Structure 1
Amino acid sequence: MHRWLVRTVANLFVFAVTIPVARQVYGADDGAFIGFTVTSWTARDGLPSEAISAISQDRDGYLWLGSSAGLVRFDGVRFVSWDALGESTLPESIVNALCISRDGSLWIGFGNLGGVSRLRNGALSSYTSQDGLPPGGIRTLLEDREGTLWAGSFGGLARFRNGRWEQLGERHGLVGATTVDRLYEDRRGNLWVATSAGVLRRNPRQDILERTDAGSYRARDIIEDSGGAVWVTGQPQPFRRLTSATVSDSTPQGSGAVYGFRLLRDGQGKLWVATLGQGLLHVPNPSWGNTRAERLTQQRGLTSDWVTSLFEDREGNIWVGTEAGLNRLTVIRAKPVVTSAEFALQTVRAVTATRDGSLWTGTADGLHRLWRGRSQWYRERDGLPSATIRVLHSDASATLWVATGRGPVRFADGRFSLLPLPTGVRLDRIDAMTTDLQGNLWLCDFTGIYRWKDGALTELKIESGRHTTAIYADSQGRVWIGFRGGGLVMHQDGTFTEYSATDGLSAGAVGAIHEDTAGTIWVGTFQGLSRFARGRFVSIASHSRSLGGGGRLTAIVEDGQGYLWLGTDAGLVRIRRDEFDKAAGDPAYSMQYRLLDVSDGFEGRPTSQGQPTSTRSSDGTLWFVTSRGLAALDPRALREYPRPVAPVIERILADERAFFPESQLSLSPRTARVQIDYTSLSFAAPSRILFRYRLDGYDQSWVNAGNRRQAFYTNLPPRSYQFRVAASRGDGVWMESPAILGFAIARAFYQTTWFYAASAGIVVLALSGVWRLRLRQVRKQFSVVLAERERLAREIHDTLLQGMLGVALQLHGISETLNSPLSTTKGRCERARDNLEYYIRETRLSIWDLRSPTHETRDLATALHETIDRAATSAVRVSLKVAGKPRPCGQVIERHMLRIGQEAISNAVRHAEATHVRVELGYDGTSVLLRVSDNGRGFDPEDAAHASVAHWGLRSMRERAEQIGGHLRLTSTPGRGTEIEAIIPLSE
């Protein structure tokens, strides 16, 4: 019995448990079907039509499906109908036959009105009966080794050579309107034709079809087995086997009364038979005398028992089309072992191997032992105090320790003996056990941690309230204890040392502890994997890609080939120890690993309801406790997955407009959204294929996309890009040659160089204009400041300075009359005082006007009278004459006119040596005139123009006149006096 199990495990990845009685499944008559996982697709999965009549694979790797709703392309994940591909319209929707020719053309045979279409390099050509095809729907297409394409229909047979169709008739051996169901070419180049009247064969050296037997029956399909015999299926005889010497009827054992519809011989030489209503038959060895069959039906996962098409792809997957969907049969690395119903219902909690070659399994209802091919159960009647097994442990002496629901038990010499515990002590909830180098037994119970030494039980005082989940004694005498709340305690030489996340240990409950052959300690937690080295832990998070994104780690075992096997929520992960070093030292490193999950036949997940959860038996088999029982693996016989083919970039969607890859792909300006669809045409486990991509010119590094097969970008700048996408099987190894697609986004007019240059010029001009405007504003402000300074200078000159000069003249006059009577002198002093007070008031008014310009209450004539009174002296007479009707001129005009008059009168009195100064103020309705003339000595105006310092008063008067919109006229002749006239226009 044990030899049979080892032989099975050597070739398979076995799931379930060891068995007391096993049956040979190979050749079973009850419909057993093993060795393959079945994956199905229906309309709910996006399949446009569930009735699949033909399947083929092109040179790129795409699967093409012929259905009642037309042609469909499939990449293992997505179904795309012909209409969605944006190609030409097919002449008919029902596709019955497909063929990929050696030049890469896809030939499509239609089943209703008939006809054939050829898709080559994106161009579609169609042919009908008018082009030489036989009438009726096309049933089959085949290209022979000479490159001739053959088409069979309800109305006969035709071939396509030299660019034209030729229908075969009586001269070729085809008599009457014979329906051709199938075409097949054997290894010798003979063309076999399955017709409604039997089987015909064409010798390549002769252009004629010959009957192969005398019988008349409807042949559905033809296939040649590995021994050279030709199998024919049809009616009324389900199977007929033809050899060069004999024709015999043969029905595979276990097939029952079935009638085959389609036949397929796979790459392993196995025969597959599609039936209409009785499922799928698998004949592992179709050689004569050993034709037992296995059956797959709808009850066992097939979408329907009406199987209409069969195909094997490049990776060895078998594709089965039915009337209700598409099915994929993949050779698994695991097959279930048939077990007794009694054992299959048990909950497995622990597994361990002892040095005598026994494999012990602890369950919720007993202890099971497999030893030397014999299977045996142990329960209460066999000496166990309780059949509830929680923990198993095998020590160095091959003694088995069993933790039951009623305490720890030792199994030795074929007997169970309960560990004698002190009175009052109950250890019935043990979570883990181990023995150290001295043979002392360590027991981790719900109530605490104990050590059995020299027949005495001692409780070890560790922090209370911490529940243990794992314990392990290594080869150096250290004992490692893991806790449910996270953290580890290591005992060595009587001292406990604690480790936590701050010491590099992965967080989360400790699920497993293991020492490898190099003496390295490995700890699996619910959040990662840790390795102890040089007094510190180094960890990798379990959710990272380096561990397959597996989540909790509940098992660690070594396979003797340098690999560690980890039980995770995602399945079983195999890694090399040196890969861990690389990943731990470089977070960016993508660790190479192997994941075995449901696609490999691994059903359920590793669990940790007891300890230990994994072991390696003496024959090298690895055993894991799972939610479905016990899993066994022979790592030496594990098949490797084929490397994924290079990714394929399918199309670009630019703002929902589809573009297909081409050498010079240019997208329109202002493209906002870009979607790039890509895929990898590997069908064994497409969901496990991972992708990463990078858009050169935009992405700084690779973008990990997981198993998503689309990349999205928004608002890409206009430029040229190269999109790269690489694929991985999910084991950390990436394809060296990524798929590359170049494209460019055109520039809008406002994104072109000339627009940038023009915009830059406009900006420069705008800035220049702003600068000029600002400069003008600053100059204006500066001119205002200068004007204010000049006004201030004029005000000082015309008020304070003139007043001081007047007082100086009066004081000079007083000094000349010191010899005069006192009354005269006193009068002149009083007048000088009055003049001084007047000019002080004028200065105050000027300052007040600088701060807040307001007008005095006096009118212009009155102000001039006061000026004349203070300017007049005994030697100079000053008179005023007002002509016209006085009218208000405004504060600004009257102030400037007054200052002009003051300056002119002062100059005449002080410099003209005149005896009479005449002041005239005239109003004519549109202007006001102020004229000051004297009979003094006069001067030359040309000389005055160059004497700016001496004649500051003349300049000030002229500026004042211009500021209020008027002009100043000076008339002077030496010896004949001077006249100053200011004319100021008045607004209406």
Structure 2
Amino acid sequence: MFAAWCIAALLSACAAASCCAQTQQVQNWTTEEGLPQNSVHALEQSQDGYLWLATEAGVARFNGLRFQRYTSANEPAFRSDDVCCIAAAEPGTLLFGTANGVVALRDGVFRPVRGVSGQVLSLKRESDGGVLVLTDSGLQRVSGETVVPVALPGGLVPSALGEATDGSARALSGTQLLKVRGTTVATLGVLPAGVQHLLADGNGDVWAATGSSLELRDGKLTLLRRWQVGRDLPGSRLESLQPWPGGVLVGTNRGAAVLCAREKEAAAILPLANDAVLSAVVDREGDAWFGTDSSGLFSVRDRSIGSVAGLAGESVTALAQGTDGRLWVGTRDAGLRSVQVEGTVARTVPARLASDVVLSVATAGDEVWVGSPEGLDQVRGTRVDHVTAADGLPDDFVKSLLVANDGVLWAGTRRGVALLRDGRVDRVMTAADGLPSDVIGAMLQDRQGTVWIGTLAGLVRWDGKALRAVPMSYGSSVAIAALHTSGDGTLWVGTGRGLSVLSEGRLLPVNLSAVRGSVAAVLDDSFGNLWIRSAAGLLRASAAALRGCAGKPVCAAPVRQFGVADGMPGVELPSLGTQIAMARRDGTLWFATRRGVAVVNPRESITAAVAPGIAIESVQVDGRAVSLAPTVKVGAGGRRVTITFAGLSLSAPGQVRYRYLLTRFDRDWSAWQPGGSAEYTNLPPGNFLFRVQAMSVEGVISERDATVTLHVQAPLYRQWWFYALLLLLAAGGAYGLYWLRLRRVRRDFATVLQERNRIAREIHDTLAQDFVAVSLQLEVTSELLRAGAVSAAKEQVDTTRTLVREGIQDARESIWAIRAEASEKTLPARLAAVVKRAESADLTVTGAYRQLPDSREREIFRIAKEALGNAQQHAHASHIQVDLVYSEDAILLRVSDDGAGFDVAAGAAKAGHYGVRGMRERAAAIGATLTVRSAPGEGTCVELRLNDR
């Protein structure tokens, strides 16, 4: 678009005086729209399509709608927010010159360039991707990660750095002009003192600018031309100089001007006349962007739509073209106007019309028919004839007019349609004749001669014999507002619900999301596009694509939307009239608005088909932004993932449409739709690749997909190690159950063994000893009987009988113990009973009695009885002392005698003797400590200590 900037800028001043003014569209962004600062020092478009801006308050990235700021506060790579310049290095890399070194942006990551320090004054890119860096300490070259110094001959110190279109650079040291390519420096000659900006163009010429003038010199530095600021250039001070399509752009403190090579005149860019222009760039879609000193960022582009001089502000209601090329314009308040070929607009009807409110206009030869709320006017030269209901019209409110091929005038009213021949009403057709409604809207005659009549309740056609209704796929009647046959004969219908097309005898809807409400006009151009006038403004789409959408639930055809920013005087639909669009014979399209007439040249409205860039800007999990990386981790608790992306078409960013696909989750691509985000909820664990594409307003799809991988982490209960842990726990649980079972079996076996041992001890301590005693008594009795001592034998028998009774009692007690029956007697009482039966034995109980569990008291009692029995039977003691002591924390049992004593170690090891061993086992069973002290001839002391606190 801006390849012809020299010519366009020169013509911009005179264009405003023409009938159709194709003015420039200007848009401005400042800090109020998110710009870090209104002083924009440098502009650069990156490979992905973003526009980058350098300011004294950091770097900004612009996607056409929003600014993203990068400063030392959110990017540690920036040690200074004062950024002077930007240069594109190798593909995908940008370098930013700051007041404290250079920062590189590679693969979305900012990193400081090591080896470059100090204040950066300028950056210039070379054709091989290297960048020359001019700092306050000298000249260096950055290539990838490598930084090397560039030495100037003779120790010269560089003061300025300029661009050259041959891929090299120009350096200035004092007045010496140098050519720099890589690290090679060559001297070219001498320039005048005071040069601040310079560049070399494709002709080999050198442009050198001081603060007050600009000079053009040839390759030998011979002066060719000089422009003076304030005389030949706007303003009083030159601010910037850079290559421009067709020439150079000169930025001054009062705007900018384009100088074509070897041309004397400078073309000022009028919209920038009030501020200093510091930087400029033409993006890949052909739009120009300008950075100013205090007014922020500007975009300047040719408007796609012109307007008609003299009709600005008029509410236009109807348009028609005469056979002589004259254009007739009906208005809501100012009657009928004529637009002459030379562009003047005048009230051309000298005689008064029936009304200044024009509803419809039609031409037939030298006649002009005008419909109004007061009837129908026939204008021929200066003569005006009125036709009203008194003359046969069904109603005076004439909404639409059609001059048929046979010269018959069709006049649509609120009470039917009238056919006029030679200015007289010949016939009237109403609902009684087959019209769906008496309220008539648009009317049209196609190439075959069929007349189509739109009504408030549907569409009918007149084949010369009868009215035939057109079937519709709406389910109910619909108002017809516009009719148009395109170049291929297709009938397009604007209805109160949008756009429709006649297909195979039926009226099918074209469900365009961009169309809101009623479609008031439809036209086509010679490039295969359909132009649709609706409440959303003016829309352009491919007619073939729209035909392919007929009858489908959603139409995804690319739609270009035009509004006030594109030059339309207004987007509101006229409140009256049905004939609000017209195609002139020169190919231009005219559309009525409430503020004048919009004129479209279809050829000029078509911009270069440039594929938009596409980038993913952020990922949020449950409303919280996460670090944007090739793989984004989504925690197990993340329920909602929102991905924001931008289609990088700076000319029409709001009209970019998107489709996306989440592999392993979505079955297919989404439909093309506006908006810049996608949301997913409750994603299952796993890896998912998100892909998004952008389609420009011209229908061009981005060349590559923007992608990001989502790694959705499984919850704890679905992690592999969790399953391994469950397996280990199950194995541990099974082993635990096995161990518990084994321990129970062992405990049961130990209990049985303990019970067997206890029974063995019981038998040893009671029955065995009693049987031994009985046996001894019987032997004594036998000896006495043999000796004839009957009386003594009788006493022995009585003693034996007593021993048997005691043995029986002991056996019963053992049986009770086996049956776990607790004794009704306390431990001291039971000990007293045992001691009482023994000879020469005494019992002493000390302390306050406290009851112990039956099992413990029983074991203590058995130990005491065993010790007492041993003292009686084996020690032959003359005195036995039994002490039972209840202290605060323990119970002490002591059985001592003055008998024969024995060797404790030898007695414990002696086979067939279980007394001491049994007592120890009983003590261990209740957690007590048993001590046996004895020696031959010194008596025996058995002591048991049980701690119970």
The TM-score with structure 1 as length reference comes to: 0.64
Alpha-carbon contact 1:505-1:538 (below 8 Å) kept: no
Residue 223 (structure 2) pairs with residue 246 (structure 1): yes
**In structure 2, what is the equivalent of residue 402 of structure 1?**
370
Instruction: Tell me what 1:956 maps to.
Output: none
- Contact 1:512/1:553, CA 8 A, preserved across alignment: yes
Deviations 1:939-988 (A, max 9, x none): xxxxxxxxxxxxxxxxxxxxxxxxxxxxxxxxxxxxxxxxxxxxxxxxxx
Amino acid at match of 1:117: V
Q: Given that residues 506 and 539 in structure 1 are in contact (C-alpha distance below 8 angstroms), is that contact kept between their aligned partners in structure 2?
A: no
Q: Which residue of 1 aligns with 2:910?
A: none
Counterparts of 2:728 and 2:453, CA distance in 1: 76
2:616 aligned counterpart, secondary structure: strand
- Sort the Cα spacing of 1:226 and 1:626 in 2 relative to 1 into closer, same or farther, 3 A: farther
Mapping for residues 23-422 of structure 1, pairs under 5 Å: 25-26=12-13, 36-82=24-70, 87-102=75-90, 104-111=92-99, 114-121=100-107, 126=112, 137-145=119-127, 148-153=130-135, 157-160=139-142, 163-166=146-149, 168=151, 171-174=154-157, 179-180=159-160, 182-187=161-166, 189=168, 191-193=170-172, 200-202=177-179, 207=185, 209=187, 212-213=190-191, 215-217=192-194, 219-224=195-200, 227-235=203-211, 237-244=212-219, 245-251=222-228, 255-266=233-244, 268-276=245-253, 278=254, 280-283=255-258, 285-297=260-272, 305-324=275-294, 326-332=296-302, 334=304, 336=306, 339-340=309-310, 343-363=311-331, 364-370=333-339, 372-373=341-342, 375=344, 377-381=346-350, 387-395=356-364, 397=365, 399-404=367-372, 407-412=375-380, 414-419=381-386
Moved more, 489-498 or 564-573: 489-498
Q: Distance in 1 between matches of 2:484 and 2:398?
A: 19
**1:943-982 aligned within 5 A:** none
Per the TM alignment, residue 141 of structure 1 is displaced from its structure 2 partner at its CA by 0.9
Match of 2:408 among 429, 435, 440: 440
Aligned residue for 1:557, secondary structure, equals strand
User: Partners of 1:602 and 1:693 in 2: how far apart?
Assistant: 33
**Alpha-carbon contact 2:21-2:307 (below 8 Å) kept:** no
* Conserved 8 A contact 1:350-1:611: yes
Per the TM alignment, residue 392 of structure 1 is displaced from its structure 2 partner at its CA by: 0.9
Decide whether the 8 Å contact of 2:57 with 2:71 is kept in 1. Answer: no
* 2:569–2:597 Cα contact (<8 Å) kept: no
1:296 aligned counterpart, secondary structure = helix
Answer whether contact 1:222 1:233 (CA < 8 A) is retained. Answer: yes
Matched-pair contact (CA < 8 Å) for 2:163–2:242: no
> Which letter does structure 2 place at the counterpart of 1:101?
A
Q: Report if the CA contact (8 A) 1:38-1:330 is conserved.
A: yes
**Structure 2 portions without partners, runs of 5+:** 734-949
Q: Is the 8 A contact 1:118 1:124 kept in 2?
A: yes
- For the residue of structure 1 that corresponds to 2:454, the secondary structure is strand
Distance 1:33 1:488 in 2: 38
Aligned partner of residue 680 in structure 1, secondary structure: strand
Change (3 A) 1:634 1:455: closer
- Give identity over the alignment, percent: 25
Alignment-mate amino acid for residue 454 of structure 2: G
Q: Is the partner of 1:344 in helix, strand or coil?
A: coil
Quick one: structure 1 residues 274 and 58, their matched pair in 2 at CA, closer, same or farther if it must change by over 3 Å? same
Q: What's the CA shift string for 1:647-680, capped at 9, x where partnerless?
A: 2234433452523332x55444333332323222
Query: Following the alignment from structure 2 to structure 1, what is the Cα–Cα distance between the partners of residues 27 and 678?
Result: 27
Residue 187 of structure 1 aligns with an amino acid whose one-letter code is D
- CA shift at 1:590, angstroms? 2.6
For 2:179, give the aligned amino acid: R
Q: 1:251 to 1:429 in 2, by over 3 A?
A: farther
Counterpart amino acid of residue 275 in structure 2: D
In 1: Cα distance, 2:297 partner to 2:21 partner: 15
DSSP 3-state at the match of 2:550 = helix
Deviation at 1:138, TM superposition (A): 2.0
Name the CA shift for 1:147/1:441 in 2 (closer, same or farther; >3 Å). Answer: closer
> Is the CA contact 1:262–1:274 (under 8 Å) kept in the aligned structure 2?
yes
Pairwise CA distance, 1:751: 0.9
| Contact 1:225 1:287 (C-alpha < 8 Å) held by counterparts | no
Structure 1 residue aligned with 2:533: 567
Retained in 2: the 8 A contact 1:432–1:444? Answer: yes
Deviation at 1:689, TM superposition (A): 0.8
Verify the 8 A CA contact 2:125 2:131 in the aligned structure 1.
yes
CA-CA distance at 1:79 after TM superposition = 2.1
Shift of 1:438: 3.9
Q: Which stretch of structure 1 is more off in the superposition, 451-460 or 201-210?
A: 201-210
- Partner of residue 471, structure 1: 443
Aligned-residue RMSD, C-alpha: 4.2
CA shift for structure 1 position 261:
0.6
Equivalent-residue separation in structure 1 for 2:232 and 2:305 (angstroms): 20
The one-letter code of the counterpart of 1:344 is: A
CA distance change for structure 1 residues 255 and 610 in 2, over 3 Å: closer, same or farther? farther
* In structure 2, distance between residues paired with 1:588 and 1:753: 45
SS in 2 for 1:90: coil
Task: Indicate the SS of the match to 2:270.
Answer: strand
Q: How far, CA to CA, are the matches of 2:124 and 2:480 in structure 1?
A: 61
Change (3 A) 1:227 1:633: farther
In structure 1, what residue type is equivalent to 2:317? R
When structure 1 is superposed on structure 2, of 736-745 and 200-209 the one drifting more is: 200-209
| Distance change in 2, residues 1:760/1:495 (3 Å) | farther
Deviations 1:757-778 (A, max 9, x none): 9879999999xxxxxxxxxxxx
Match of 2:573 in 1: 607
Q: For the Cα contact (< 8 Å) 2:46–2:52, is it kept in 1?
A: yes
Pair 382,297 (structure 1): closer, same or farther in 2 beyond 3 Å: farther
**1:188 CA drift (Å):** 7.5
Partner of 1:722: 689
Task: Give yes or no for contact 1:172–1:208 (8 Å, CA) kept in 2.
Answer: no
Tell me, in whole angstroms, the C-alpha distance in 1 between the residues paired with 2:612 and 2:228. 39
**What is the DSSP-based 3-state SS (H/G/I as helix, E as strand, rest coil) of the residue aligned with 1:150?**
strand
Amino acid at match of 2:35: L
Alpha-carbon separation, structure 1, partners of 2:520 and 2:16: 40
Alignment-derived partner of residue 658 in structure 2: 691
Answer with 506-515 or 65-74: which moved more. 506-515
CA separation of 1:761/1:705 partners in 2, compared to 1, >3 Å: closer, same or farther? farther
Higher mean C-alpha deviation, range 707-716 or range 490-499: 490-499
Deviation, structure 1 residue 230: 3.1
- Cα distance in 2, alignment partners of residues 696 and 479 from structure 1: 53
- Deviation at residue 315 of structure 1 after TM alignment: 2.6
Aligned partner of 1:556 in structure 2 is: 522
Letter in 2 for 1:307: V
* CA offsets 1:632-656 (integer angstroms, 9 cap, x no match): 2232444234333352234433452
1:281 deviation in Å?
A: 1.9
Q: Which residue is equivalent to 2:481?
A: 511
Which letter maps to 1:680? G
Separation (CA, whole Å) in 1 of partners of 2:338 and 2:326: 7
- Alpha-carbon displacement from aligned partner over 1:797-826 (angstroms, at most 9, x marks no partner): xxxxxxxxxxxxxxxxxxxxxxxxxxxxxx
Partner of 1:874: none
CA change 1:348–1:270 in 2 (3 A) is farther
Task: Give unpaired runs (5+ residues) of structure 1.
Answer: 1-7, 13-22, 299-303, 767-988
Amino acid at match of 2:304: A
Offset of 1:310 from its aligned partner? 1.9
1:619 match = 586
The residue aligned with 1:487 is 458
Q: Distance in 2 between matches of 1:448 and 1:712?
A: 53
